[in-house]
């Protein structure tokens, strides 16, 4: 396969992923808007889940550095969790990476401070790690709660979210001893990681909002003094070089 053919295949593949991602989000809206039993929407959701799961594990197997891949594709992993249809919305993170890979913001003249701030917020602050761990704790707790308390995955996920965020509506509560242990672990994990996640978001926007501190007159005076000292030393070195040249 030539380079041109490979590029065409890659563009076609990315266009297909984009179409399937938008279809996933649209299908989520249809599922959440249904008040009665769902049929075709559920089948479409399951089919898309299988496609994105296969795509994820194939890319993971072909990745040169799997550790970096797991970090960069954290939202892709969240998008194939078969817990609730709303998790398909995490697949939108794939579109953001495709936009950056093809430099669409740069082509449209939108590249600059916004994209740098986005990258700094997602990766440099550790947001992606904390968010992934928080979601993993909530999903695992919801799954275990569903098995132990014999609740649906949707109700268990709702219970896990309200418990981890310390809202606690009380409509879903554990009744077994194991369920209470799961709830206790989730409470401590929710307070820890979700608290760190919230503080990370707050610190980022607080830092962004702070104006740059202007240089003080004392700092400028000290800098000028150092420049004068350095200039004097350079002049002395030049004079010594001239004397050496004359002696030769």
| pTM strictly above 0.75 | no
pLDDT, tens digit (0-9, with 9 covering 90-100), for 178-223: 999 999 999 888 888 888 888 888 887 787 665 555 555 666 677 7
The residue written with tokens 């554990």 in the block is 174
The residue written with tokens 């401070």 in the block is 113
**Domain shared by 62 and 129, yes or no:** no
**Is 198 among the domain residues?**
yes
pLDDT, tens digit (0-9, with 9 covering 90-100), for 220-245: 677 777 787 878 777 787 777 777 76
Of 89, 108, 127, the position where a domain reaches its end is: 108
Half-sphere exposure of 151 (CA within 13 A, CB side): 24
Token representation of residue 110: 């939108």
**Is 8 among the domain residues?**
yes
Contacts of 194 (CB under 8 A, 6+ apart): 134, 164, 165
pLDDT, tens digit (0-9, with 9 covering 90-100), for 85-144: 888 888 888 887 787 776 666 666 656 566 677 777 777 777 878 888 888 888 889 999
| Range(s) of the domain holding residue 167 | 112-210
Residue 139, domain CATH: 1.10.287.70
Residue 117, phi then psi, degrees to nearest 5: -65, -40
Share of the chain above pLDDT 90, in %: 18
**Domain shared by 87 and 6, yes or no:** yes
Residue 36, phi then psi, degrees to nearest 5: -110, -165
pLDDT, tens digit (0-9, with 9 covering 90-100), for 138-182: 888 999 999 999 988 888 989 998 998 888 888 888 999 999 999
**Is 86 among the domain residues?**
yes
CB atoms under 10 Å from CB of 24, counted, come to: 23
């Amino acid at each position: 396969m030539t380079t041109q053919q490979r590029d065409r295949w890659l563009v076609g593949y990315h266009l297909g992923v984009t179409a399937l991602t938008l279809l996933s989000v649209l299908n989520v809206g249809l599922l959440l808007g249904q008040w009665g039993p769902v049929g075709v929407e559920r089948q479409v959701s399951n089919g898309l889940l299988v496609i994105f799961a296969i795509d994820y594990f194939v890319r993971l197997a072909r990745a040169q550095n799997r550790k970096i891949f797991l970090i960069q594709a954290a939202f892709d992993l969240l998008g194939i969790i078969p817990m609730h249809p709303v998790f398909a919305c995490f697949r939108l993170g794939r579109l953001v990476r495709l936009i950056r890979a093809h430099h669409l913001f740069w082509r449209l003249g939108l590249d600059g401070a916004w994209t740098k701030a986005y990258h700094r917020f997602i990766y440099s602050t550790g947001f992606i790690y904390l968010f992934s761990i928080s979601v993993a704790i909530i999903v695992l707790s919801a799954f275990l709660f569903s098995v132990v308390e014999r609740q649906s995955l949707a109700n268990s996920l709702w219970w896990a979210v309200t418990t981890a965020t310390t809202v606690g509506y009380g409509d879903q509560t554990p009744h077994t001893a194991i369920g209470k242990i799961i709830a206790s672990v989730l409470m401590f994990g929710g307070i820890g990681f979700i608290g760190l996640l919230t503080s990370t978001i707050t610190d980022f926007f607080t830092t962004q909002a702070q104006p740059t501190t202007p240089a003080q007159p004392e700092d400028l005076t000290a800098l000028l003094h150092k420049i004068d000292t350095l200039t004097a030393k350079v002049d002395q070195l030049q004079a010594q070089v001239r004397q050496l040249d004359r002696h030769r």
